[in-house]
Structure 1
Amino acid sequence: MHRQERDGRAGAQGVAHSATGRGRAGRLPREAWTWPSASLLGGLPPAARDRLLTLGALTRYPTGRVLMRETEESTFVLILLDGAVKATGRTHDNREALLAVRMGGDLVGEFAAVDGRPRSATVTTCGPVTARVVTRGDFLDSMRHDELIAQAVNASIIAKLRVATTHRVDFTGCDAPTRLARVLYQIAMAYGESTGAGAVIRWPITQPELATLAGTAEPTVHKALRKLREAGVVSTGYRTFRVENLAELRQLAFGRR
């Protein structure tokens, strides 16, 4: 095992709230969690998913724990089983920019595992998180020897790159309220829990984070959110964000229902 991989994995496990089980002995029954079909775990056939979940150590993290830091040279991978994490990066003027959110069923840290380069983002838990911590060696071995897992991981990486490209294209020429509406709609569709005509997002997202995602100033986000709340399109609660009417939000975001 490379030194940077060993150090990185130790760092991830060292911040854990609790950790139990390694390898096959640490595997939880398949019915312990359910994952969206669009996620890595949700899209894998059961047998392939079970093989993937034999890797690494089952680990639990508390809220607000940094799991990976931007520019560090660790190469371990996290298979998220439950909870949400956010990926952030530093801008040229030293602001923290929210780059992505990952939920149970997603893979985190695979870029560094694949190319061996430093981390491109800082990853922090948005609430209690359960994951499997997998070394780079074990992760790459599983891809080399298991075609289904390799195909699923490659598809997951491509999907993330496509989302990033779409995000840039969608924002070209849009005003700030439209960009915010698109951000909220994308988050709700990818990570929200369906509730009638809307969706609820059960992890905290701040106005500064929304501002960085939408590429606009925080006061502008505050003003646009106020208008959305007054129109009954969104509402907020303790550690939750609710889209009351997805069709209306889609209309505001893309001009169609």
Structure 2
Amino acid sequence: MEDKGVGHGAGWHGLREEWAWPASSLLGGLTPDARDQLLALGARVRYEAGRVLMREAERTSFVLILLDGVVKATGHTQDGRDALLAVRMGGDLVGELAAVDGYPRSATVTTCGTVLARTVTRADFLECLRRHPGIAHAVNTSTVTKLRVATTHRIDLTGCDAATRLARVLHQIAMTYGEHTGDGAVIPWPITQPELATLSGASEPTVHKALRRLREAGVVSTGYRTIRVEDLSLLGSIAFGQR
């Protein structure tokens, strides 16, 4: 695949050419040498908003190293809905499960705005892991962290009402992915009420009512497919009480 648009700067629709990846991300946690080895793989590509990069159950095995932008992973439920499973941002790896085990994709991955990434073949990715134990260890750690977060999410949503579940979902998203400003944080990608409903295990009308109460309390403000947490401390109190 061609390296599309390298060095075009503003031609990347506002995406940066240099990034400060979070230390908790795969790229942010690697040593400079290991990061350079990983980023030497594959080709750099740009994807526009709404682009499906991987589809659930398809048999592809390439890996995406996200440089900038946001993608969401969704799964198809038995009743025909799309459930939001996870969000990944610059510094994260996407598609590594199919690359490692050779099984079909476990989720559909879609861009939430313009995304810059490196696309890497399964063969090149696995060879890199074999040749560089430090990178292999970092990838394994990243995968385990994702599984731990998913387990914690399921535990946190057990045994509480829908409004509390929604508060916990919003708090987790804001703390993990939000752009922090003052006492609050902005969720930097479009998120819909149906997606919040699937994440919190609630109906859309219930999410609508709970969001209205949070707005009235000054905890959040909402726009078209956008959410800003005005007071993270207050949202945490609502979500977890004295915990």
Please give the TM-score of this superposition, normalised by the length of structure 2.
0.93
Match of 2:166 in 1: 180
Q: 1:34 to 1:239 in 2, by over 3 A?
A: farther
What's the CA shift for 1:113?
A: 0.4
Measure the CA separation in 2 of the matches of 1:224 and 1:50: 45
- For 2:34, which of 29, 44, 48 is the aligned residue? 48
Measure the CA separation in 2 of the matches of 1:245 and 1:123: 30
Letter in 1 for 2:94: V
- Secondary structure, aligned partner of 2:4: strand
Match of 1:140 in 2: 126
Match of 1:194 in 2: 180
Match of 1:119 in 2: 105
Measure the CA separation in 2 of the matches of 1:174 and 1:149: 39
Match of 2:62 in 1: 76
1:92-123 Cα distance to aligned partner (Å, 9 max, x none):
11111111110011000000001000001000
Identity %: 72
Q: 1:239 to 1:177 in 2, by over 3 A?
A: closer
- For 1:205, which of 177, 180, 191 is the aligned residue? 191
Q: Does residue 19 of the first structure (1) align with residue 4 of the second (2)?
A: yes
Match of 1:169 in 2: 155
Answer whether contact 1:20 1:57 (CA < 8 A) is retained: no
5+ residue gaps, structure 1? 1-9, 22-29
Q: Does residue 215 of the first structure (1) align with residue 239 of the second (2)?
A: no
What's the CA shift for 1:224?
A: 0.2
Match of 2:10 in 1: none
- For 1:99, which of 85, 100, 122 is the aligned residue? 85
Answer whether contact 1:250 1:256 (CA < 8 A) is retained: no
Please give the TM-score of this superposition, normalised by the length of structure 1.
0.88
Q: 1:239 to 1:219 in 2, by over 3 A?
A: closer
Measure the CA separation in 2 of the matches of 1:50 and 1:239: 36
Q: Does residue 251 of the first structure (1) align with residue 241 of the second (2)?
A: no
Measure the CA separation in 1 of the matches of 2:222 and 2:22: 24
Match of 2:23 in 1: 37
RMSD of aligned Cα (Å): 1.6
Answer whether contact 2:192 2:225 (CA < 8 A) is retained: no
Q: Does residue 86 of the first structure (1) align with residue 86 of the second (2)?
A: no
Measure the CA separation in 2 of the matches of 1:45 and 1:190: 22
Q: Which 4+ runs in 1 deviate beyond 6 A?
A: none
What's the CA shift for 1:238?
A: 4.9
Query: What is the total number of aligned residue pairs between the two structures?
Result: 234
- Secondary structure, aligned partner of 2:199: helix
Letter in 2 for 1:57: A
Answer whether contact 1:66 1:125 (CA < 8 A) is retained: yes
What's the CA shift for 1:91?
A: 0.4
Answer whether contact 2:65 2:117 (CA < 8 A) is retained: yes
